[in-house]
Chain A
């Protein structure tokens, strides 16, 4: 999620879940699966528990709703000590989504979703309205109410699983690798939709995954867990990426933490440039005039609906009467205004000269972003890192500058394509 949203979250935060010295020892094992874990989860945030296989992250999550009973320690939900209360009642207040989903195959989709509301004694109309509401929220057509799970695809079942968990509107959702059993394309889409949904419903969510990239994408805060669920670092994704606490965290993040950091910022967070534009229907002379008056060597051609189509440079103008539509090269590196910087960088690499055109949802031209702008944005994100690395390379820089141009920043970089 974005930097701004993360900031908003940590203000005015009430504690929703508190784990106090939680431990779990399984009878057959010598070492504790979870050893003396304490952590707080605030209202309305997504906390991701991530770590290597066997570190106890799933065990920890399952102790929150006591599917696995803790050996020692206490669990607090909304300030109430729920360590010893009736577990069935506790679980009706917590939504639970597991990797294999576990929809009841012998019940219709509607009956699946209605399970907890019916247990809580909701009347028929309220339940039915809620089912319709949830199907719409998770993007499943209402005609699916009377179908059975076996008729649905994996992605659809996962959505119903989420709908079922949210049916009685619990304040907390526990999700154990909910997108793990889905293909990567659908998973990406489900993650995006889920984040959008969370903007509206603002539930407190504890999310377990082994995938650090998923954790970075989904989490407001991430708890990186070592063996026995010992916390290596529990912080926002931005902080973890820019300031890993130790070698374990660094190794776990993997390569390219700075690039990954870019996926948390959006084009809207940085300043973009404007570029001279012309129409496909303009003449070559008109295009050349625009280039001259702006002092840039290239002009971007838009069609009637303001969509960027071609780049035309001074060298392409030949005064041969050929229409602009056949001059220059097609504009290929295009990103939407709400893209993150990681995807933007990826697109820029495919462009001719390292920049990307920004468009809105309708595909209309908004501006241009280039490598220089992104570099500046990175530099503002990592003040500490800059201090750390400044000294030795500085001595070599004057020598390097004359040989290689791009790193220096801004100088004479007029060609966008």
Chain B
């Protein structure tokens, strides 16, 4: 234990730098996944068969082992940021898409009908009634994707991607050597701390952006 603390006091700036890189790549991938996922969800939620197809495809992404996916991307996207972000977006899509579809589909039909009966057109209904009501469910999906990406982003080190995975892989490669274990531990703990921070952020964001009328 004391060895680890000593390691951290010497290397904290390095770990911090990697952590920031890790956070950024996750944030960028989440942002892209939210844009694609929510848009897709809005387009398909009324059409059962198309929605199912989209959900099946995005769940398949999750079943591909991330190591393999990153490897497959090397000849296509090269090394570094690009393959990392593409893969992370793919993994983040399912929870966001599924929750967008479920959230929109579970809007109380009486509410949707009374909105229609008052003369709201489809766009107004979507923006002012359905999305705000589906929002808590969508945010829940974003939080799940965040947790997924935190761990998977570590694997991006395999394609020279940014983040704490770099330390984890480096440490694992020389396990037994000086501070090798501490390197792995530092990287892992960094991911956990980031995960908690991101989750708290989305939790608070969710509460702030959800109307008091539908907060439990």
Contact = CB atoms under 8 A, between A and B. Distances in A.
B118 interface: yes
Given A96-B114, A98-B113, A149-B213, A116 B119 contact: yes
A102 B110 contact: yes
Given A67-B113, A102-B113, A104-B129, A116 B118 contact: yes
A7 to B, nearest CB: 33
B213 A105 contact: yes
A119 B125 CA distance: 12
A89 B210 CA distance: 30
A108 B114 contact: no
Contact of B110 (A100, A115, A119): A100
A339 B114 CA distance: 36
B134 to A, nearest CB: 10
A60 interface: no
B108 interface: yes
Interface in B91-131: 108, 110-121, 124, 129
Contact of B119 (A90, A148, A161, A174): A90
A408 B112 CA distance: 61
Nearest to A150: B213
B211 A106 contact: yes
Contacts of B115: 102, 104
A148 B212 contact: yes
Contacts of B132: 106
B213 A148 contact: yes
A149 B117 CA distance: 19
A101 B133 CA distance: 17
Contact of B120 (A108, A119, A174): A119
A150 B112 CA distance: 17
B19 to A, nearest CB: 37
Interface residues of A, number: 32
A290 interface: no
Contact of B118 (A92, A99, A105, A148): A92
B1 interface: no
A115 B118 contact: yes
Nearest to B125: A88
B23 to A, nearest CB: 31
B212 A105 contact: no
A101 B114 contact: yes
B119 A88 contact: yes
B114 A107 contact: no
A323 B132 CA distance: 72
A203 interface: no
B133 A106 contact: yes
Contact of B117 (A65, A106, A107, A148): A65
A102 B111 contact: yes
Contacts of B120: 88, 115, 119
Instruction: Kindly name the residue among B112, B117, B118, B120 whose own CB sees the greatest number of chain A CB atoms within 10 A.
Output: B118
A145 interface: no
B214 interface: yes
Interface centre among A65, A90, A104 (most CB of B within 10 A): A104
Nearest to A91: B119
A105 B114 CA distance: 12
Interface string B175-216: 000000000000000000000000000000000001111100
A115 B118 CA distance: 8
Given A105-B214, A106-B132, A106-B133, A89 B119 contact: yes
Q: 3 closest A-B pairs (Cβ-Cβ)?
A: A102-B114, A148-B213, A96-B117
Given A67-B117, A102-B110, A102-B114, 14 more contacts: A65-B117, A88-B119, A88-B121, A92-B119, A93-B119, A96-B114, A96-B118, A104-B129, A106-B132, A106-B210, A148-B212, A150-B214, A161-B114, A174-B117
